[in-house]
Structure 1
Amino acid sequence: MSSDFWAGYLSGAIGIIIGNPLDLVKVRLQAGHTEGDTAAARSLRNQFETAGSLVRGAAAPILGYGALNALLFVAYNRALMVLDPSVRDPTNPTGTSLYKIWVAGAAGGLASWIVSSPTELVKCRAQLSSRAEVSSWAVAKDIYKRQGLRGLYFGGAITSVRDSVGYGFYFWSYELSKRYMTTENETAHQTAMKVLLCGGIAGIITWASVFPLDVVKTKLQAQTLDHLRTAVPSDTRPLLASSVEHGRPLTSLEIAKRVYRAEGLKTFYRGLGVCSLRAFIVNAVQWATYEWLMKAFNEPLGKAHDPVSTVE
């Protein structure tokens, strides 16, 4: 496989390992009930019942997000080269229009949906489960047993919109930041610090642009899929409590309307502070890892200075 695939895969997996504890807090804050719920007001310390909570729901994302990140970068690189045939090195598209970079990023995000949708669903439900022994694998098997493959793509529509818009801004903001910060005769240290800072900024801008969509997605996926069962034996109950009306789960639009009526706009940004902190750290490390791996993978073949090698 291509170097950008493996660089994307490994950087994505590393990012999840680093960011999972804060992602757990974000998901729980987003999924909190709008009335009479104290979960959103709990301290960060109380978000983690045990040491195992720090990595709850991480197994699926480590594997899934690695694949997602690989598909994302490969699709982005290829899309950018189609949009601008003059681009020889997608990791350094200096003269390319920022609009084309946004479109290529959106295409990459849409392509990664096939992995992100089931990964997000499994991660969300594992993190929200009240049963400490529940693993990502148990959640995935529970969903598949009850709803089949289709069940793993519950909330897929809003996830695809979130990913497309979000990753458009992801690559756009990263490249824009790099262009503003690039100076002549940069030292290796300055370049490394620039990549870290630009990656962190890109992460914050990305999440700020799609956070309301992510809140609705989390609340949507927190609903049980097994809404047709009204009397289920305790050993076969869904892993999450039911949150349905009229025998069916709420739609994204219904959830958005209900949340807005209950608390107004502020609830669509609940958890943004924690998410921004996580986004800066994770994406700074991811971009630095990705660019370092791209260079490392290509150098043994004598292609360190060959821009075409970064996408072959």
Structure 2
Amino acid sequence: MSKAIEASSTVPQAAAPDAASARPEIKKKPISWSNILLGAAIQTFEVSTLGQPFEVVKTHMAANRGDSIATTLKKTYARGGISGFYQGLIPWAWIEASTKGGVLLFTSSEIDYRARVAGFSSSWAGLFGGVGGGIAQAYTTMGFCTFMKTVEVTRHKSADANLSTWRIAYDVFQREGIRGLNRGVSAVALRQMTNWGSRFGISRVTESVFRGQDKTRKLSTMERLASSAIGGALACWNQPLEVIRVEMQSQTKAADRPEKLNLLSTARYIYQKNGFLGFYRGVTPRVGLSVYLTVCMVFGGDSIKAYFNQKQAAKSNPNA
């Protein structure tokens, strides 16, 4: 009798390790400083090529909601030729591009790991990571960078049109302090949290669709590119927040425009002036911007990493 009891008591002890080993181990993704530097370099390249023209067109249309894409292109070119499409590039877009990727990667990776440890699926963990990373971006570097970029695009009709960017930034800081340079940051934070939350979440769902029944299959470059592009394009559903952000930061003056704008008063003003469709002005160039950024980060990043990996392998095995 005692032997039977002793034998039965050993069964749970033997089964426990098997149950523990059956549970997949959740590993935290290490932060690679080389990847952060690579991301900063690629994003700086992206914004210095087609990224800033997309940004300028998108911002102009959001601030001047009666202008079509054709009209926007003509007005932008009339302001300064080809250089008109690069207003706000130096230094503000460069500062933003070289910093926001690292902030996003660090914050989203940490939140993603904590969410998966807490038992959330990869899709939910990606969404939470994107939301947290987007908020961190807004309140560290993107707030004042987007403000100054918008000033550059919209100030041609204001009294500050002949002042340098640095002078405008100094004057704003003298009048309103850090708060003035971060005008509209609440809209930026909402845009970034919904943008990256949607992008990460939708991209993960799309990846799952591509994998089908084999959840461990490694995706091809084209599949990863398509997943990111779909996530980026569909994440533009939050364009109303972008239009509100631009209006809050715009230097364009109007007699009926409230002096002190917040999220609600800005939304009310846009609706009164342009109706519901006014909230989606500039969405087409924004989708183009998102797809171009995805191409640069996925194709560009993978190609450069593969090149350096091959160089490193060749150095390690010179006789191979």
Task: State the TM-score, normalizing by the size of structure 1.
Answer: 0.75
Q: Secondary structure at the match of 2:88?
A: coil
1:109 to 113, 134, 140: 134
Residues of 1 paired with 2:298 and 2:161: CA distance? 33
1:140 maps to 169
CA shift at 1:44, angstroms? 2.4
Question: Quick one: structure 1 residues 127 and 43, their matched pair in 2 at CA, closer, same or farther if it must change by over 3 Å?
Answer: closer
Number of corresponding residues: 270
Residue number in structure 1 paired with 2:318: none
Of 156-165 and 117-126, deviating more is 156-165
* Matched ranges for 1:1-312 at <5 A: 2-17=33-48, 18-32=50-64, 42=71, 44-49=73-78, 50-59=81-90, 60-85=92-117, 96-113=121-138, 114-130=140-156, 136-182=165-211, 191-208=220-237, 210-223=238-251, 241=253, 248-292=259-303
1:39 shift after superposition: 7.2
CA gap of 1:242–1:14, structure 2 versus 1, over 3 A, is same
Alignment-derived partner of residue 25 in structure 2: none
**Structure 1 residues 127 and 245: alpha-carbon distance in aligned structure 2, compared to 1, 3 A threshold:** closer
- Cα distance in 2, alignment partners of residues 153 and 15 from structure 1: 24
Determine which structure has more spread, i.e. the larger CA radius of gyration: 2
Q: What letter matches 1:53 in structure 2?
A: G
TM-superposed CA distance for 1:277, in Å, is 1.8
Q: 1:264 to 1:148 in 2, by over 3 A?
A: same
- Contact kept, 8 Å, 2:88 with 2:149, in 1: the verdict is yes
Verify the 8 A CA contact 2:60 2:153 in the aligned structure 1: yes
CA distance in 2, matches of 1:217, 1:256: 10
- 1:150 alignment partner, SS class: helix
Root-mean-square deviation (CA, aligned residues, Å) is 3.2
Shift of 1:295: 6.0
Q: Which residue type is aligned with residue 33 of structure 2?
A: S
Using the alignment, how far apart are the partners of 2:70 and 2:100 within structure 1?
Answer: 32
Tell me how far apart the structure 1 counterparts of residues 284 and 245 of structure 2 sit (CA, whole Å). Answer: 18
| 2:199 and 2:231 in contact (8 A); partners too | yes
Question: Does the residue aligned with 2:220 lie in a helix, a strand or coil?
Answer: helix
Deviation of residue 298 (structure 1)? Answer: 7.3
Q: Which has the higher helix share?
A: 2
2:194 alignment partner AA: V
* Conserved? CA contact 2:111–2:125, under 8 Å: no
User: Deviation per CA, 1:262-300, whole angstroms, max 9, x where unpaired?
Assistant: 332111011111221222122221233344556667788
TM-score for both structures, normalised by structure 2: 0.73
Letter in 2 for 1:30: A
Identify the residue that residue 229 of structure 1 maps to in structure 2: none
Gap change, CA 1:286 and 1:145, over 3 Å in 2: farther
Identity %: 19
Amino acid at match of 1:121: F
**Superimposed CA distance per residue, residues 151-171 of structure 1 (whole angstroms, 9 cap, x where no aligned partner):** 111111121111111111121
Deviation at 1:250, TM superposition (A): 2.1
Residue 189 of structure 2 aligns to a residue in which SS? helix
After alignment, is 283-292 or 57-66 more displaced?
A: 283-292
Aligned 8 A contact 2:243 2:280 in 1: yes
C-alpha separation in 2, matches of 1:244 and 1:67:
37
Contact 1:243 1:249 in 2 (8 A): no
Higher relative contact order (CA 8 A, sep 6+): 1
Structure 1 runs not aligned, ≥5 long: 88-94, 224-239, 303-312
Residues 292, 44 of structure 1: alpha-carbon distance in 2 compared, 3 angstrom cutoff: same
Q: Does the aligned pair in 1 maintain the 2:61–2:67 contact within 8 Å?
A: no
Closer, same or farther: CA 205–192 of 1 in aligned 2, 3 Å: same
8 Å contact from structure 1 (residues 20, 55) kept in 2: yes
Q: Cα distance 1:75–1:38, how it changes in 2: closer, same or farther (>3 A)?
A: closer
Letter in 2 for 1:212: P
